[in-house]
Amino acid sequence: MREYLYSLATDKKKGILAAILKTLLFLLSLLYGLIIRIILFCYKSKILKTTRLDTKVVSIGNITLGGTGKTPLVELVAEFLSGAGYKVAILTRGYKKEATADKKSDEATMLAAKLPKVHILVGRNRIENAKQAIKDYNTDLILLDDGFQHWRLHRDLDIVAIDAINPFGNRNMIPRGILREPLSSLKRAEMFVITKSDFGKDNVGAIESFISFIKPKAVVAQTIHNPVFLYRIDNNQVLNSSLMRDKNICLLASIGDPASFEAMIVKMGLTPELKFYFTDHYQYKERDLARVVATCKAREINTIITTEKDIPRLKSLKLDFLNGLTILALRIGIKFTKNEEAFFERLLSVCHR
């Protein structure tokens, strides 16, 4: 159901039934938009209070549903600030039942593996988690993952990631579109990062013009996502991707933007024969993977490539039925292609205030 609703919000579904449902969703989006605007007004007029911490708070978020490539940006910023001498803690809400103290979310598991010097705290109550980080780890800088809509906590800096491929969808609010709040809310941000600018290069100019109109003095940087290497998820062995260019492969992912994942695989010179894409954060079941494996075997495919975000959910399953089939993960890196120096200068200037 969630996948079908998302396909309506992104206008992938056509036909009479889809048109009727889109009309109903549009009416619901008007109600949702009204509620969000009332909440934002209450915070702006201080009817609802924000909590200010005794440390710097930087938020990295977005204004849309779906994958904007925000997590690699969080990793990059955390690594930079940690290297600059800050004691950084990342606060992430997690996802549904994952957001518990004893079960990290996909993003948190991935970030923890890559950032051993940074504390990762998962949970919906990020104010309490921030206080815990300050108390237990003497944290002097809080980094909010997906924090643009976390209005309860005061931020010293809001960074917004915008996907160049699909910046704002059809510009409708949830559930008719993918906007989490009105586009006018982007005025709160001081810095913007246009992600996947190579894949969505035709949209970059319009995005920059819009940001310049709504926030003239903002820093607007551009990044691309690059494939770094492939490695086995069972033993972390890095493989030479060039040796796989003649092999049949299958792609498996449950992320917000599988098309970009596939594009990076193609960028490596690989050609996928099969693709299995599930909804974002889908909790795999053994029967799902058994179906994937059986289909691969029937097509004489012995290699599955997935994303790093999918690894925790795949490893939670019993994988003894793979029968020689190998699962690889793609390591993705983010690279600035415009205004990198201005981005980090503004970031440090805010943190030094």
Question: pLDDT tens, 203-222?
Answer: 999 999 999 999 999 999 99
pLDDT at 105: 66
- Nearest in space to 101 (alpha carbons), one of 128, 138, 61: 128
DSSP result, 334-346: EEEEE-HHHHHHH
pLDDT at 102: 40
Q: Where are the domains of the chain?
A: 56-225+335-351, 226-332
Phi/psi for 296 (5° steps) reads -65, -45
pLDDT band at 282 (very low <50, low <70, confident <90, very high): confident
3-class secondary-structure state, position 38? helix
Can you give the pLDDT at residue 316?
Answer: 84
Predicted local confidence at residue 104, as pLDDT: 59
What is the dotted CATH code of the domain comprising 56-225+335-351? 3.40.50.300
H or E stretch covering 119: strand 119-122
| Percent of the residues in the chain that have a pLDDT greater than 90, as a whole number | 70
Q: Give the mean pLDDT of 193-209.
A: 95
Q: Which residues pair with 189 in a beta bridge?
A: none
Confidence of residue 95 (pLDDT cuts 50, 70, 90): low
Query: What are φ and ψ of residue 24, in 5° steps?
Result: -65, -40
Fold of 226-332: Rossmann fold (3.40.50)
Domains 56-225+335-351 and 226-332 alike in fold: yes
Decide: 69 and 195 in contact? Cβ < 8 Å. yes
- Whether residue 92 contacts residue 122, with contact meaning beta carbons closer than 8 Å, is answered with yes
pLDDT of residue 99: 41
Q: What gap in Å lies between CA 273 and CA 299, rounded to an integer?
A: 9
Strands 56-61 and 238-239, how do they pair?
Answer: unpaired
Q: pLDDT tier at 90 (50, 70, 90 boundaries)?
A: very high
At 129-138, the pLDDT tens digits run: 999 999 999 9
Please give the pLDDT value at position 114. Answer: 86
Q: How many CB atoms lie within 10 A of CB 324?
A: 6
Which residue's structure tokens are 């970031």?
347
pLDDT of 100:
41
What pLDDT is attached to residue 12?
84
